[in-house]
Chains A and B, each alone.
Chain A
Amino acid sequence: MAAEGDVVAQVLRRRANPTELLQILRETQEKLGWISPETGRAIASALGVPATRVESVVEFYSFLYDRPQGRYRILFSDNITDRMLGSLALFEHMLKRLKLKRGEVSPDDGVSVDLTSCTGMCDQGPAVLVNSRAVTRLTARRVDEICDLVRGGVPIAEWSSDYFRVEDNVRRADALLGSRYEPGSALSAAIALGRQGMLDEMKRSNLRGRGGAGFTTAVKWESCRNAPGADRFIVCNADEGEPGTFKDRVLLASYPERVFEGMAIAGFVVGAARGLLYLRGEYRYLLEPLMAKLEAMRRGRLLGASICGAQGFDFDIDIHLGAGAYICGEESALIESLEGKPGKPRIRPPFPVTVGYLGKPTVVNNVETLAQATEIALYGGRTFAGRGTRRSSGTKILSVSGDCARPGLYEYPFGVRVEQVLKDCGTSDVAAVQVSGPSGVCLTPDEFRRHVAFEDVPTAGAFMVFGKDRDLFEVARNFAHFFAHESCGFCTPCRVGTTLMRDALDKIADGRGSRYEINDLMRLAELLRRTSHCGLGQTAGNPVRDTWAKFRPAYERRLIRGEFDPAVDLDAALARAREIAGRDDAAAHIGAEA
């Protein structure tokens, strides 16, 4: 207990504000392994908040634990691309080797094995997180080795560094990924342009948000600058949670100065002195390198007071880690999370540009958007707008994964045809491409001549390829499970509806679904689209709608002919009674003889 108290005191010495609760809990847990009720109460009383406040945060985030987790916590990324690479068999194999059930903590080795939402390693899966460190390219052999290491109690620090190697896999570089970059050059260029001059270049560029929604960045910056209030904030959304997306991982690993300078440029234009990078918990391994980069930038006077010697240009950046919640990619949920609360989307309007972090005007931009602001500072808005299409200027980085020879990042000018991407990444016999993740759109070969652009096929970057042998029903079912797991629970349609959709698809997968379930699914998808509080619920029905429309045989071969089969399986309901009676003969079963 004393040790626990020491850890909490140590963490609270550096952070003592209730708005930092999530970071306090995360840092405490890194030391103690979990948040015990005593630890939670100690933190609550030190911060002067109700203990329920701590409880609601711990229970909301997947990576915070109110139960002991053991020395090794292994989480298999459960995106469809991991599954296509055989992740489930490896998962079962590991459970068997360690004699464990999913999610349970073994008493002897102190290890638990479970599934988690996409960890952003789709180009080098199957992937797992071991105590929040990413292990890529899992094979049966690697699973066996990990089991041995775990059984031998070998500390993770002594594991082969090869396990933790994360490749960038940049396959096609263009304006952003392909240009040489002199650190500080974009900042100097922006300072030379002046605050208004830089904003004018942003307007000329017509840069639109790369997180998927495509809102014009200059409009956002200008609205924030013009919003009443003294303090302003720049938030970089690096909660890259959309399954199949991993471009921000690479930008933050190998191009961080461009992201950070982009944030500082945004701060310069809107008059913000503080920036926050919201890094998804799955990218915890990037925290130390990014902190080191920030420190180096401060030393080089690229951050801090009077940046590049410009009087009055003060800007610095903190990093805030997420803890396993896809919903925090929604900008107002992200702000709630930054304020140390469960990530539940706010009522909008007001929008963050007027009422954002701590109620102050706040710009929330995607990692790629901010990195591209450095291009605009350097080469001007017109040059930037010269690439891409008229309504979608510049380039876009696609995260390509699935059935292709060369998964990885592909940067193209907007307007590229889907078929071009498929050709470049090495595919044949493609049945479908899921663009922009589960919340995006499923395209079939007759649509491959369409263009990646806001006006045609908009995307946040995910590009998952499915070959002819893939079962698109299982793709939709995987996505339905994802949405049910990630719904924040705030509004009725999404909280209950995502679970109802998941269950209906499971029933169909079980061979017990009929047209009745299909009708329910279509009705639910439309209800969620029209009444959900935020984009998660509004798009959660897309995969089942798309695949029902385009891959109907995948459903039909599973449907029973009758009108309806009850959800209650009478025979299964008797399982417990059979167990008690110690019987398993034919007469103890219902319907077996029928």
Chain B
Amino acid sequence: MSATDATILIDEVQVPFAPGQTILEAALSAGVYIPHLCHHPEFEPHGSCKLCSVVVNGRNASACTMKAAAGQEVEVDTPDLHAYRRTLVQMLFVEGNHFCPGCEKSGNCQLQALAYDSEMMTPHFVEFYPRRPVDASHPDVLLDFNRCIQCELCVRASRDIDGKSVFALAGRGMASHIIVNSPTGKLGDTNFSAADKAAHVCPVGAILIKRVGFSTPIGERLYDLEPISEEATRCAVGGEK
């Protein structure tokens, strides 16, 4: 395959890709932003949040799971896709309990940042207000399931990188929820550590390291300084994150 063959067209921008790359990976490496939540560069594609929904040669697809292939024409920032993304973010807001002003993740939260990115002004739908208990049993880490969006990044990190399988997703449909692998179901009774990868992958404020919540004041945090679309592509291009 020649170099010119290995490109795709994203919203009319030529984007090169390496063999095996997904559309999302190719886009981010080229500095083109496609919104995403459950994707993390260090993990296998998951494809559950659907924020990276795009249209590839006229067909609906998830940019994070579809491999880039020469000749693809990918639509990302069309009015309808933009509106769908906003609705998906709204869905994630109403199914959990997300109160940004009182959340210590505010400013570092990808869900909040995507709400800004998708120009969400209200949650639109009726809030579900689920009852989800907080687990503060661990000395160094707080679990606040109210904010969980079920991206399974902690499940994947704990299983695939930490080798501990501390977390799992149980239940079906709206009853899906994260469970903790200990006889009591409490994090404090596991071998989980604040040094685990799984303690640092949560895109929202469901897994929080204790005692550092406000070391950076609100207003000076990641997405306070830079919109997620710029932060994500800068990190991908610079190879950080």
Closest to A44 in B: B181
A61 surroundings in chain B (CB, below 8 A): 172
In the bound complex, what is the Cα–Cα distance between A59 and B49 (angstroms)? 21
User: Residue B35 at the A interface, CB < 8 A?
Assistant: no
User: Residue B53 at the A interface, CB < 8 A?
Assistant: yes
State how many residues of chain A have any CB contact under 8 Å with chain B: 43
Q: A484-B174, A496-B92, A497-B91 are in contact. Are A491 and B126 (CB under 8 A)?
A: no
Query: Contact at B179–A492, with CB atoms within 8 Å?
Result: no
Q: Nearest Cβ distance between residue B156 and chain A, in whole angstroms?
A: 14
Query: Contact at A59–B175, with CB atoms within 8 Å?
Result: yes
User: Residue B235 at the A interface, CB < 8 A?
Assistant: no
In the bound complex, what is the Cα–Cα distance between A55 and B178 (angstroms)? 11
State how many residues of chain B have any CB contact under 8 Å with chain A: 37
User: Residue B45 at the A interface, CB < 8 A?
Assistant: yes
Q: Nearest Cβ distance between residue A340 and chain B, in whole angstroms?
A: 14
In the bound complex, what is the Cα–Cα distance between A347 and B50 (angstroms)? 12
Q: Nearest Cβ distance between residue B137 and chain A, in whole angstroms?
A: 16
Question: Pick the contact of B171 from A50, A53, A489, A496 — CB < 8 Å?
Answer: A489
User: Residue A485 at the B interface, CB < 8 A?
Assistant: yes
User: Residue B43 at the A interface, CB < 8 A?
Assistant: no
Query: Contact at A495–B176, with CB atoms within 8 Å?
Result: yes
In the bound complex, what is the Cα–Cα distance between A487 and B53 (angstroms)? 19
Question: Pick the contact of A530 from B53, B94, B173, B183 — CB < 8 Å?
Answer: B53
Which residues in window 8-34 of A have CB below 8 A to B? none
Q: Mark interface residues in A37-56 (1 if CB within 8 Å of B CB, else 0).
A: 10001000000001111011
B168 surroundings in chain A (CB, below 8 A): 50, 52-53, 55-56
User: Residue B84 at the A interface, CB < 8 A?
Assistant: yes
Closest to A52 in B: B168
Which residues in window 475-527 of A have CB below 8 A to B? 484-493, 495-500, 503, 520, 523-524, 527
User: Residue A533 at the B interface, CB < 8 A?
Assistant: yes
Query: Contact at B45–A485, with CB atoms within 8 Å?
Result: no
Query: Contact at A499–B88, with CB atoms within 8 Å?
Result: no
A520 surroundings in chain B (CB, below 8 A): 125
User: Residue A332 at the B interface, CB < 8 A?
Assistant: no
A262 surroundings in chain B (CB, below 8 A): none
User: Residue B47 at the A interface, CB < 8 A?
Assistant: yes
Which residues in window 86-134 of B have CB below 8 A to A? 87-88, 91-92, 94-95, 125-126, 128
Query: Contact at B169–A495, with CB atoms within 8 Å?
Result: no
Query: Contact at B50–A533, with CB atoms within 8 Å?
Result: yes
B170 surroundings in chain A (CB, below 8 A): 52, 55-56, 58-60
Q: Mark interface residues in B154-179 (1 if CB within 8 Å of A CB, else 0).
A: 00000000000101111111111001
Query: Contact at A492–B88, with CB atoms within 8 Å?
Result: yes
Query: Contact at B84–A496, with CB atoms within 8 Å?
Result: no
Query: Contact at A531–B84, with CB atoms within 8 Å?
Result: yes
Closest to B55 in A: A530
Query: Contact at B172–A496, with CB atoms within 8 Å?
Result: no
Query: Contact at B88–A531, with CB atoms within 8 Å?
Result: yes
A492 surroundings in chain B (CB, below 8 A): 48-51, 88, 91-92, 149
A495 surroundings in chain B (CB, below 8 A): 95, 150, 173-174, 176
A496 surroundings in chain B (CB, below 8 A): 91-92, 94-95, 174
In the bound complex, what is the Cα–Cα distance between A493 and B128 (angstroms)? 15
Query: Contact at B95–A490, with CB atoms within 8 Å?
Result: no
Question: Pick the contact of A56 from B84, B91, B149, B179 — CB < 8 Å?
Answer: B179
A498 surroundings in chain B (CB, below 8 A): 173
User: Residue B65 at the A interface, CB < 8 A?
Assistant: yes
Query: Contact at A500–B125, with CB atoms within 8 Å?
Result: yes
Q: Nearest Cβ distance between residue A53 and chain B, in whole angstroms?
A: 7
User: What would 8 A/B residue contacts be, using CB atoms closer than 8 Å?
Assistant: A37-B183, A52-B165, A58-B170, A347-B45, A484-B173, A489-B171, A492-B48, A531-B60
A-contacting residues of B (Cβ < 8 Å)? Answer: 45, 47-51, 53, 60, 62, 65, 84, 87-88, 91-92, 94-95, 125-126, 128, 149-150, 165, 167-176, 179-181, 183
B-contacting residues of A (Cβ < 8 Å)? Answer: 37, 41, 50-53, 55-56, 58-62, 325, 342, 347, 484-493, 495-500, 503, 520, 523-524, 527, 530-533, 567-568
Going nearest first, the 8 A-B pairs with the smallest beta carbon separation are A52-B168, A489-B176, A496-B91, A56-B170, A487-B173, A59-B170, A567-B126, A531-B53
